[in-house]
Amino acid sequence: MGRREIFLEEMGLGPVWRYRGKLGVAAPQEQAAELDWTGLKAAVAGCMACELHKTRNRTVFGVGDENADWLFVGEAPGADEDAMGEPFVGQAGKLLDNMLKSIGLKRGENVYIANVVKSRPPGNRNPLPGEIAACLPYLKRQIELIRPRLIVTLGKIASETLLGREATIASLRGKVHTYQGIPLIVTYHPAYLLRTLNDKAKAWEDLSLARETMQALPSGAPSHIS
């Protein structure tokens, strides 16, 4: 124990958090579970928990109704999102807006949209396991604050992350899963659907299941997050 730590302990101010070798500073993602919206947004904006902070332009926190019944979770920001600081604003975003419209929803109205990873991976590559682990506390806290009635995961990475297991989209579709007691529906990522038009019909089936699941929930039933 160093002299500074001994002094602080004697003053009743220990233990001291350590982050990147500095004393007295807790890693932002470690504190995420206790943050309100303002604190969480600030933590994400200044986060340097993984190497993605070196190449990003802007963090992409999330957007929408912070008391939404519907939460849509994607993978990570792309180039357009990195430039604007908002999720799903490129061609994939336009398709997502159309997907929402198909089941009577609209961005920002009882809908919140977020990503697992808040910084763009270079070249739009898939986020690495360490990058996902560094960002996951932020997403978990977003879910706790929103308390959505239903979650829709967009793509393999978002689905595997929240379900906690590796699986194909094909094996996860068509079922009602749960995350912390909240119904969760799996569907394809809009970027994938732009490349694979034949699967748009399957995505429609997933969205229809999501709508039916929401309609079957008891009116006003809160989420089960404790």
Structural domains in the chain plus CATH codes: 16-216 (3.40.470.10)
**For residue 182, what are the β-bridge partners?**
179
Query: For 169-184, what is the mean pLDDT?
Result: 97
Q: Give the whole-angstrom CA distance, residue 69 versus residue 211.
A: 11
| Tokens coding 46 | 């200044």
Q: Give the whole-angstrom CA distance, residue 141 versus residue 184.
A: 17
For position 15, what pLDDT does the model report? Answer: 41
Q: In whole angstroms, how far apart are CA 25 and each of 3, 29, 73?
A: 17, 12, 30
Does 24 score more than 70 pLDDT?
no
User: Residue 19's pLDDT band (boundaries 50, 70, 90)?
Assistant: very low
3-class DSSP state of 210: helix
For position 11, what pLDDT does the model report? Answer: 42
Query: For 53-75, what is the mean pLDDT?
Result: 97
Give CA angle at 142 (101, 125), nearest 5°: 75
| Tokens coding 30 | 């470690």
3-class DSSP state of 26: coil
Residue 77 class from Cβ within 10 Å (0-12 exposed, 13-18 middle, 19+ buried)? buried
| Tokens coding 78 | 């792309």
Does 144 score more than 70 pLDDT?
yes
For position 162, what pLDDT does the model report? Answer: 98
User: Residue 225's pLDDT band (boundaries 50, 70, 90)?
Assistant: low
Cβ contacts of residue 169 below 8 Å, gap of 6+? 155, 156, 159, 186, 187, 188
Does 123 score more than 60 pLDDT?
yes
Q: Give the whole-angstrom CA distance, residue 36 versus residue 56.
A: 24
| Tokens coding 114 | 């977020």
Q: Alpha-carbon dihedral of residues 135, 141, 144, 148, nearest 10 degrees?
A: -50
User: Residue 2's pLDDT band (boundaries 50, 70, 90)?
Assistant: low
Read off the pLDDT of residues 186-209 as tens digits, 9 standing for 90 and up.
999 999 999 999 999 999 999 999
Whole-model pTM: value is 0.86
Does 127 score more than 90 pLDDT?
yes
Does 34 score more than 80 pLDDT?
yes
Query: For 134-146, what is the mean pLDDT?
Result: 97
User: Residue 219's pLDDT band (boundaries 50, 70, 90)?
Assistant: confident
Gyration radius from the chain CA atoms: 19
Q: Give the whole-angstrom CA distance, residue 19 versus residue 30.
A: 10
Does 94 score more than 80 pLDDT?
yes
* DSSP code at position 32: G
Q: In whole angstroms, how far apart are CA 20 and each of 14, 48, 68, 102?
A: 18, 10, 36, 47
Query: For 14-24, what is the mean pLDDT?
Result: 37
